[in-house]
Amino acid sequence: MSSADPGGAGSEAPAAPPAAGGQAGGASPAGAGLPGGAAGRAGAGGLAGAAGQAGAGRLAGAGGPAGAGQPGGAAGGGDPGELARRVAARVRDVPDFPLPGVLFKDLTPMLADGPLLADVARAIAAEHDAAGFDVVAGVEARGFLIAAAVAITAGTGVVPVRKAGKLPWKTVARSYTLEYGEATIEVHADAFAEHRRVLLVDDVLATGGTLAAAADLVGRAGGELAGTSVVLELAALGGRDRLGSLDVHTVLTG
């Protein structure tokens, strides 16, 4: 999520009711939540499972469903309610950050929980597997981390949607207005030249400004938006209402 959008990394999220509480799911071995079949192991620089690497935009290897024998199973998400409760237990409320009166939703505890991050990535990839996608675009900054995890799970590449001036080559830009200023995000002009079906991923849906701009930017850069997911939606801020026909999948709504 862009730093100019409420709820994003280093951004402001106006005070909203805390996310639905819950307890973290049972601890699992560090490798258990990683992509790969039951006989696979995350070693020697790879996440290959028993059936081999997942094909682009798919969660199943040649020999069977990805994730078999792991938390979440073949569908990658298990019980969505249980996953939401686990995520809620790893979202930390930080009052008065970065400004007085702002309640910041800190997802870094969730990102540090390896099995949980892997299950979130698997759930997002599984949600959009039927529609099909061949690249994942992540919005600066925590969206980068989540998008990369989803891309590894699905066996695709990842494209960063960055703040203005951060990308080294020719870019396509999109500016948008927030209640307290203006922001601009960019992607490389050729970001979707080879992989056109784009899954757009961000950390938080707050007022909706950044996500709407990023979705528009995908199209302007030549991509086809195959789906959109966020980890946390702050429903009280009404961001979904500002996204028009854009259908957004969320892991947790608070």
Type of residue numbered 35: P
**Residues 37, 49 contacting (CB under 8 angstroms):** yes
Catalytic residues: 142, 179
- Reduced to 3 states (helix: H, G, I; strand: E, B; else coil), residue 60 is strand
**Residues 67, 122 contacting (CB under 8 angstroms):** yes
Where are any strands of DSSP class E within 26-180?
A: 60-61, 64-65, 92-95, 103-106, 135-139, 157-163, 171-178
Query: Could you give the CA distance from residue 53 to residue 2 in angstroms, rounded to a whole number?
Result: 32
For 202, the enclosing helix (H) or strand (E) is: strand 197-205
Identify which of 91, 92, 70, 72 has the alpha carbon closest to the alpha carbon of residue 80.
72
**Residues 243, 212 contacting (CB under 8 angstroms):** yes
- Helix axis angle, 142-154 to 114-127, nearest 10°: 70
Q: Strand 60-61 vs strand 64-65: parallel, antiparallel, or unpaired? A: antiparallel
Q: Which residue has the tokens 């969730």?
A: 110
DSSP 236: G
